[in-house]
């Protein structure tokens, strides 16, 4: 490089060096100024203390997420619309049941918010309390209450024991004799009976009243059929001609049931009480066979009497009442000797075992009970139906009991095994009546609000025949004592007579 070219380069480097020196001088002056300000107390810089913006943001985010989770939980909670239940739950969690100017909707929302703040452990405790409360309530509902009865009740229990024991011995002896018959002979007889039932058909139909026919029952000699109606009338008809015999007038409300005395029409004086009936107004009346007016009133029911039944001896009358109890009346001394509670809802049906030692009851609580009349204890609890037990019947074999329910099924109970041994999916609507064949219980008759009645084999419970012909629900059905006829009563105001061709 020529000498004349070196001059500008050095001149540029000089300028560069000068600028660098000036920058360093300014930086030193700035640091001196900051140091001077710090020493003078005009600038305050804390050492070791920092503010982490990221950490602060994370905490806020967590709290927001927790609030969103709580609100989501609150939306999923199912809160009862019953204000009394809302108050009860508020009391359970220690909150006031009512605040100033708070209505039912506000109270419900407050409960929702409080429950959303409670953790899973707290909710589990509340659920456990609720389960224990329901369990306690169920035990209370199933608890059997016993009342101290009069001296006449003790005498009646002793009389029933003396009456039933010989009958039980005779029944067992007859059962043993049946077992001596060869199986082939018994099977042939059963097949013959089933073939006869398969050919059953309607042989008569009659319009019984202007209102629905609620019940029907054959007389012990199978020659008279009694029908009861919602009009309050009870009519007697000859069998099988269906000629009207007599109209019994006395009830002013729907008649729910009518029964014959066990000895009526087969030796009992017609001028004495031979029938009994009940109505929705709680009235129970006794009737003779030679008058259209009631012979006597059985007074003492404060609620509806749904069904009644005579004890096999004919001395006692059992009534199923809507005051959650059933009652036993001694017709000889004309007084109530037993008022038995035990069902948590209305008692709808009642039937006596053939020996006379037991009585079966069914209620709208979906349970049935078997009571020992000699001791007064509930000896078996029939638990299995999903809805109300609307009919109950004891088999002549002494140990089988059938119950018909609002769940469309029929259950067969064995008193020896103390359990349900079979469930028949019998109908497409509630079962309004069940009835065993009266001599040996070799078949079962059921009727339903699906407008049909059906016949089932025993044992095995296979369907044998379907009795279809009514235009509306079948309210009741019965089998004659000689097994020749079946009667059905319907809401369509007619009753029909069925027999084998």
pLDDT tens, residue by residue, 244-281: 999 999 999 999 999 999 999 998 999 999 999 999 99
Question: Going from the N-terminus, what domains does the chain have, and what CATH number goes with each?
Answer: 85-120 (no CATH), 151-500 (2.130.10.10)
C-alpha torsion angle, residues 131, 136, 141, 142 (rounded to 10): 100
* Best CA proximity match to 489, nearest among 211, 201, 194, 279: 211
Q: What pLDDT is attached to residue 27? A: 66
The answer to whether the beta carbons of residues 367 and 408 sit under 8 Å apart is no
* Comparison of pLDDT for 79 and 172, the residue scoring more: 172
What token pair was written down for 203?
A: 């042989």
Indicate the SS3 state at residue 393.
Answer: strand
At residue 360, φ and ψ (nearest 5 deg) are: -110, 135
pLDDT tens track for 100-135: 888 888 888 888 888 877 765 556 666 666 667 666
Q: Which residue reads 């001609």 in tokens?
A: 241
Closest C-alpha among 429, 431, 475 to residue 412: 431
The predicted model gives 410-439 an average pLDDT of: 94
Gap between the Cα atoms of 396 and 178, Å rounded = 14
Rounded-to-integer distance, Cα 30 and Cα 36, Å: 10
Give 417-430 as a DSSP string: TTEEEEEE---SS-
CA distance to 55, 144, 274, 308, 501, per residue, from 303 (Å): 74, 20, 24, 14, 44
- Residue of higher predicted confidence among 483 and 114: 483
296/286 Cα distance (integer angstroms): 5
Q: What's the pLDDT at 12?
A: 46
At CB < 8 A and 24+ separation, what contacts does 283-288 make?
283/251, 283/252, 283/253, 284/308, 284/317, 284/319, 285/250, 285/251, 286/331, 287/234, 287/248, 287/250
Q: Give the strand pairing for 275-279 and 255-260.
A: antiparallel
Integer Cα distance of 263 and 298 in angstroms:
20
Distance of CA 18 to the CA centre of its chain: 106
d(CA 393, CA 375): 21
Distance CA 328, CA 317 (A): 6
Q: For residue range 83-105, what is the model confidence (pLDDT) as tens digits?
A: 888 888 888 777 888 888 888 88
CB contact at 8 A, 373 and 357: yes
Output the pLDDT for position 91: 80
Which is higher by pLDDT, 74 or 407?
407
Tokens of 107: 């109270």
């Amino acid at each position: 490089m020529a000498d004349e070219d070196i001059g500008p380069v050095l001149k540029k480097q000089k300028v560069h060096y000068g600028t660098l020196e000036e920058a360093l001088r300014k930086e030193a002056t700035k640091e001196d100024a900051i140091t001077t300000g710090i020493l003078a107390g005009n600038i305050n810089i804390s050492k070791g203390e920092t503010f982490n913006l990221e950490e602060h943001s994370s905490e806020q985010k967590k709290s927001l997420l927790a609030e969103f989770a709580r609100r989501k939980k609150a939306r999923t909670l199912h809160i009862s619309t019953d204000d009394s239940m809302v108050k009860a739950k508020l009391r359970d969690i220690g909150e006031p049941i009512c605040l100033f100017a708070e209505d039912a909707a506000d109270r419900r929302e407050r409960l929702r918010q409080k429950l959303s703040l409670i953790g899973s452990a707290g909710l589990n405790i509340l659920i456990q309390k609720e389960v224990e409360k329901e369990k306690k309530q169920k035990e209370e509902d199933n608890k059997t209450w016993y009342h101290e009865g009069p001296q006449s009740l003790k005498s009646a229990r002793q009389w029933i024991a003396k009456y039933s024991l010989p009958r039980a011995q005779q029944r067992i002896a007859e059962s043993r004799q049946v077992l001596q018959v060869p199986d082939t002979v018994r099977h042939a007889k059963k097949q013959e009976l089933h073939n006869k039932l398969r050919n059953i058909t309607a042989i008569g139909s009659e319009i019984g009243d202007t209102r629905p026919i609620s019940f029907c029952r054959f007389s012990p000699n199978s020659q008279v059929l009694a029908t009861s109606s919602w009009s309050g009338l009870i009519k007697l008809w000859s069998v099988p001609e269906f000629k009207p015999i007599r109209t019994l007038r006395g009830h002013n409300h729907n008649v729910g049931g009518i029964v014959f005395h066990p000895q009526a029409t087969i030796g009992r004086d017609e001028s004495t009480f031979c029938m009994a009936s009940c109505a929705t107004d709680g009235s129970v009346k006794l009737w003779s066979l030679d008058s259209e007016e009631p012979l006597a009133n059985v007074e003492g029911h404060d609620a509806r009497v749904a069904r009644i039944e005579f004890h096999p001896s004919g001395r006692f009358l059992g009534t199923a009442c809507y005051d959650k109890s059933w009652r036993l009346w001694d017709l000889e001394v004309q007084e109530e000797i037993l008022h038995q509670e035990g069902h948590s809802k209305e008692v709808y049906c009642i039937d006596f075992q053939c020996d006379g030692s037991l009585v079966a009851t069914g209620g709208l609580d979906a349970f049935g009970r078997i009571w020992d009349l000699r001791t007064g204890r509930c000896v078996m609890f029939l638990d299995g139906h999903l809805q109300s037990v609307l009919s109950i019947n004891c088999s002549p074999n002494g140990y089988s009991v059938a119950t018909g329910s609002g769940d469309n099924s029929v259950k067969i109970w064995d008193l020896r095994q103390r359990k349900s041994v079979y469930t028949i999916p019998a109908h497409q609507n509630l079962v309004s009546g069940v009835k065993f064949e009266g001599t040996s219980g070799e078949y079962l008759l059921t009727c339903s609000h699906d407008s049909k009645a059906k016949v089932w084999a025993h044992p095995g419970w296979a369907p044998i025949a379907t009795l279809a012909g009514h235009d509306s629900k079948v309210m009741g059905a019965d089998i004659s004592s000689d097994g020749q006829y079946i009667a059905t009563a319907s809401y369509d105001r007619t009753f029909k007579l069925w027999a084998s061709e």
